[in-house]
Structure 1
Amino acid sequence: MITTDLVGDVYRITLDRPERRNALTPAGLDALRRAIEEADAPVISIRGAGPAFCAGADLDVVGELDGEEAAEFARTGQRTARAIAEVDAVVLAGIDGPARGGGLELALACDLRVATSGATFGEPGVTFGLFGAWGGTVRLPRVLGLGEAMDLALSGRAVDAEEALRTGLVSRIVEDPGSVAREIARNDPTALVATKRRLRDDRSTRVQEESEAETFAALIERYDP
């Protein structure tokens, strides 16, 4: 489900479940978190195998959860997103194809999001009675601003790469997101860490995430897949 390799100074993590659009189970989230924590390189690049970046949570798994299991699934996703945000390395999401729900939330935890022209983004949870609970309700307004975040999350619509660039959801549209990872890796690693730490100096996320997990658990109690 998760594969890794090292190319120069870029540690590449591939979400490798293309038959399910790289949807993640709790075990897949734990494997992704371990890969982040074990990475030994100044730059980490996360990408998806096949035609999608990540469809988010595996809904076949979600449909079997009770309330407490749902809250723990949310916390597992939050731990993984937090590992992405807190690791010293610069983490880049290279997005080609759909990034939906939890896939978008994991990308939001990255330091940079770089898209191809074929990338699309959405938080479709409201269309089937849920919402993103891997830190999405915390990070989405921080990245987009409240107005754009409300539009994306409450409509459930998907946006293309051009709109994502306009709103600041991604920083570049390129043919090869890996080229941006390599560009960053050419810089001084100590300076990269110091700069990332200063830009990410925010200590209020965890309290909001716990509330997010509890609300998600309440919705799961009424979820009917």
Structure 2
Amino acid sequence: MIDVEVDADRSIRTVRLDRPAVRNALTVDGLEALERAIVDADESVIVLRGRGPAFCAGADLEAVAALEGDREAAIEFARLGQRVARAIEESSAVVVAAIDGPVRGGGLELALACDVRVGTPDSTYGEPGVTFGLFGAWGGTVRLPRLVGEGHALEFALTGRVVDAEEALRLGLISRLEDDPRTVAREIAGNASDACEVLKRRIRDDADRETRERREAEAFGDLVAAHADDIDAMLE
């Protein structure tokens, strides 16, 4: 259901959603396994990808149907998805979504929680829940407007339409287009992991401006102290 691989240098962990027959749709067990694969990582970069021709179709429809109109069970299921998305967002590793083929609904919401989203030219993106009376509730209504702006977020979510890779890039759903998204993961893994983690925290800091600037200066000071020998070596 969730396959984990670590590269030879132990710098990149690949977490692969492994249910290709159902486009890697996620059940409760799958979400919990994904959370463990993220939380247990001690590598500096995590690549999240799907096996087969799709990245992730989102929530398994049979799992949703099993909720049987139970409001409290539905809330619990949504909260589980939100918890997994937060685990991705709050990981000390840089998490790269390597998106190939379709990504829909909850799968897109998990990708939105990643630090970097890289799509192949064959990737497509959609939030189709509205077409059958639902919407993505794994944090998508929070993260989508932050990334693409309120206007684009509303149009995209309310129409339920599917966009191709080029439009996803224009909208800001993805950061880059690559034939092999792992290229970007390798670029990041080649940099200082502590600096990458600091950048991730600082860019996502939502405190007031004065607090953000103070934290930025303090983090810079910490890195200068930690990398004094590296800085001296560059001057030699």
**Other structure's SS at 1:140 match:** helix
Shift of 1:51: 0.3
Question: Which protein has greater RCO, CA pairs closer than 8 Å, 6+ apart?
Answer: 1
Partner of 1:105: 109
Taking only aligned residues, the RMSD between alpha carbons, in angstroms, comes to 0.8
Counting only pairs closer than 5 Å after superposition, residues 195-206 of structure 1 correspond to structure 2 as 195-202=199-206
Shift in Å, 1:67 = 1.1
CA deviation map 1:83-109 (0-9, x unaligned): 000011100000000110000000000
Tell me the CA shift for residue 163 of structure 1.
Answer: 0.1
TM-score normalized by the length of structure 2: 0.85
Which ranges of structure 2 fall in alignment gaps of 5 or more residues?
208-236
Tell me the secondary structure at the aligned position of residue 185 of structure 2.
helix
Structure 2 partner of 1:17: 19
Distance between the aligned counterparts of 1:190 and 1:36, measured in 2? 18
- 2:78 is the counterpart of 1:71: no
The unaligned stretches of length 5 or more in structure 1 are: 204-225
Q: Identity across aligned pairs (percent)?
A: 65
Deviation by residue 1:102-133 (Cα, 9 ceiling, x = unmatched)? 00000000000000000000000000000000
**Shift in Å, 1:150:** 0.6
Larger radius of gyration: 2
Rounded to whole Å, the distance in 2 between the matches of 1:201 and 1:32 is 25
Aligned to 1:137: 141
- 1:202, CA displacement in angstroms? 3.0
Matching residue's letter, 2:100: D
Q: Which residue of 1 aligns with 2:132?
A: 128
Question: Counterpart in 2 of 1:37?
Answer: 39
- Does residue 193 of the first structure (1) align with residue 204 of the second (2)? no
User: Which contiguous aligned blocks of 4+ residues in structure 1 show a shift greater than 2 angstroms?
Assistant: none
Q: What corresponds to 1:56 in structure 2?
A: 58
TM-score (norm. length: structure 1): 0.89
How many residues are matched?
Answer: 203
Match among 161, 182, 197 for residue 186 of structure 2:
182
Matches of 1:150 and 1:106 in 2, distance apart? Answer: 18
Match for residue 213 of structure 2? none
1:222 alignment counterpart: none
Aligned equivalents of 1:123, 1:20: Cα separation in 2: 17
